Amino acid sequence: MKQLLAPLREHPVVGAVAIAVALYFVMASMGYASAFSIRSMLVLAALLAVASVGQTLVIIIGGIDLSIPFVIGFANVVAATLTGDGMPFWQVCLIVGTLAILIGAVSGSLSAWLKIHPLIVTLGIGTIVQGLVQLWTGGFPSGSAPAFVSQFVSIGGQIGPFGPIPVIPVPGLIPAVGLLMVAVTLLLAVTPLGRRLYALGGNPTAAPYALISPIAMWTIAFAISAFFAAVAGVLLLGFTGSAYGDVGQPYLFQTIAAVVVGGTSLMGGRGTYVGTVVGAIVLVQIRTILIGQGLDEALIQAAFGAIIIVLVSLYGREPHVRNTI
């Protein structure tokens, strides 16, 4: 068993992919592999994957971001309200995106500069953001997303037809997340920024001697995290149709779970975004199977927690202290 699992520990993404494939066959045998249910699972997984971009980067540098659900809610409500007020959508995106980047930059720089654990800082900043948004809307947000955003994320959506290319029966979100996966992977693998993130996460003491500024890296990573949380918030607005300040709450732990199931170490310095995307797919598959069992929400939650533990114990274990000396 140990030898069987050894290669998984080297390449945890392989483990996550294997589990995703195995779950697919489980679902197929249970009759959940219809085109529609696969499409809906892909959409749900894609939304989670977008929200988890930043969590991946932040965890690679050894941090954690608990402000994601609050930023999702912020973007969701602000975008709906501004769109409802008749502002052009590109202006809405510009405002929401810029504010989100600022929120993330404040969290990241504050954590790195004062060496406060990001868990506390992001929680505090998130609480402030959520309070401000509710203050602004009086707790009752209104408005909705432009139709093309809803079309972009709709489970029944489709792409094309473009001239000779026939209709592709998935919404635009799916190929977009595919491109995002390539872009983030390239960012991490070949750009100086990516190498610096890994270097800082792998050895926070040595990285400054290689002229990597921890404060700059933390600011950038948390800003990216908040930006993609905001993107997820706007996409969720299209998905659910109306604004809801707490729409991001399930994403608090799910983004962390997706990253970890995808094989990224919370100790920092290791991990891939491809893994996170697969992790997101696995989480959505598990939920689908559990819901299909007719369990009620409480027991689904309990089973979900147990399964996360089992999955991570298969290939996400840390070394014993005797092997770190």
Partner 1 sequence: MSPAASRFLHRFGGMGFSFVLLIVLLAVNVALNPARFAPHAWGTLIGLAAPLIAAALASTPPILGGNGGIDVSVGPAMGFVNAIVVAVLINGAGIDSPFILVPVAILVGAAIGLVNGFLAAVVRIQPIVATLGTYLVLLGLTLAIVPSPTGTVPEWLRALSGQYSILPILAILAIWWGIQRFPYFHQLMATGSDQRAAYTSGVNVTAIRILAYVLGGMFAGLAGLSLSGLIGSADANVGPNFTLIAISAAALGGVSLVGGKGSLIGAMIGAIDVFLLQSALTYFNVSTFVLQVAYGLVLVLAVSFAALQERFIATRGRPS
Of 15, 55, 10, 280, nearest to 184 by C-alpha is: 55
Which amino acid, residue 263?
Answer: G
Q: If binding is defined by CB under 8 A, does position 115 make contact with partner 1?
A: yes
Q: Residue 191 has what DSSP assignment?
A: S
Q: Residue 71 has what DSSP assignment?
A: H
What is the C-alpha to C-alpha distance for residues 85 and 228, in angstroms, rounded to an integer?
Answer: 24
Which is nearer to partner 1, 46 or 133 (by Cβ)? Answer: 133
From residue 221 to residue 260, what is the string marking binding to partner 1 with x (rule CB under 8 A)? Answer: --------------------------------x--xx--x
Establish how many alpha carbons lie within 13 A of residue 229's alpha carbon, considering only the half-sphere containing its beta carbon: 39
Residues paired with residue 222 on neighbouring β-strands, in sequence order: none
* Alpha-carbon distance values, 81 to 96, 152, 174 (Å): 11, 20, 26
Residues from 293 through 322 that contact partner 1 (CB under 8 A)? 296-306, 308-309, 312-313, 316-322
CB of 128 to partner 1, least distance (A): 4
Q: If binding is defined by CB under 8 A, does position 123 make contact with partner 1?
A: yes
Three-state SS string over 211-253 comes to: CCCHHHHHHHHHHHHHHHHHHHHHHHHHHHCCCCCCCCCCHHH
Residues from 137 through 176 that contact partner 1 (CB under 8 A)? 139
Tell me which of 134, 185, 203, 249 binds partner 1, using CB under 8 A.
134
What is the C-alpha to C-alpha distance for residues 53 and 34, in angstroms, rounded to an integer?
Answer: 28
Q: Residue 264 has what DSSP assignment?
A: -
Q: If binding is defined by CB under 8 A, does position 291 make contact with partner 1?
A: no
Q: If binding is defined by CB under 8 A, does position 182 make contact with partner 1?
A: no
C-alpha torsion sign, points 77, 79, 80, 81: positive
Q: If binding is defined by CB under 8 A, does position 114 make contact with partner 1?
A: yes
Tell me which of 3, 29, 205, 324 binds partner 1, using CB under 8 A.
324
Residues paired with residue 168 on neighbouring β-strands, in sequence order: 159
Which is nearer to partner 1, 170 or 282 (by Cβ)? Answer: 282
CB of 186 to partner 1, least distance (A): 27
* Alpha-carbon distance values, 176 to 75, 172, 280 (Å): 19, 6, 16
Q: Which stretch binds partner 1 (CB under 8 A): 33-41, 44-52, 107-115, 151-159?
A: 107-115
Q: If binding is defined by CB under 8 A, does position 103 make contact with partner 1?
A: no
Q: If binding is defined by CB under 8 A, does position 132 make contact with partner 1?
A: yes
Which is nearer to partner 1, 110 or 223 (by Cβ)? Answer: 110
Judged by CB under 8 A, the number of residues near partner 1 is 53
From residue 259 to residue 288, what is the string marking binding to partner 1 with x (rule CB under 8 A)? Answer: -x----xxx---------------------
What is the C-alpha to C-alpha distance for residues 45 and 25, in angstroms, rounded to an integer?
Answer: 18
Residues paired with residue 159 on neighbouring β-strands, in sequence order: 168
Residues from 32 through 51 that contact partner 1 (CB under 8 A)? none
Interface positions with partner 1 (CB under 8 A): 64, 66, 110, 114-117, 119-121, 123-128, 130-132, 134-135, 139, 253, 256-257, 260, 265-267, 296-306, 308-309, 312-313, 316-322, 324-325
